[in-house]
Amino acid sequence: MATRSGSRFCGRTRRRYGLAAEAGQSSQSSAEHRATADHTLAHFEVADIETVVGELEKREVKFIDYADGPLQTTGHIAQIGPARGAWLRDPDGNVLGLRQAP
C-alpha cells in the first residue's frame, strides 16, 4: 500500500501515514470487516440508571453482570466509587457502558 498524506472519504477509505482505515461499507460483507473491542468502547451518561436499565431490559437488551473481583453488579448495576455503572454489548459485540454520576 502506498503512503498518502491526504484523506479521501468519497471512496470510504481514509489513508494517513501508510495506514488505511475503512469507514462505512464496502463490497465485502460487513461480517468480514467486523472487529470488536475487548474493553468498554464508550460510556453514556444517564440521570437515572435504574430506569434506563429497566427500559432497555423491556427491549430485551442483555446486560453483562460481574460477580468476581472488585467489580460486582446487583441488578446489572455496579457501584464504582461515588458513580454507578452498567454494561451491555452492541450488535457487533462491543462493550458499551451506562454511567450515572453522583
User: Which grid coordinates belong to 54?
Assistant: 429497566
Sequence-distant (6+) residues with CB within 8 A of 101 are 45, 82, 83
For each of the chain's 102 residues, which pLDDT tens digit applies?
Answer: 444 444 443 444 343 344 344 444 444 444 555 566 667 878 899 999 999 999 999 999 999 999 988 889 999 999 999 999 999 998 888 999 999 999
Predicted model pTM? 0.63
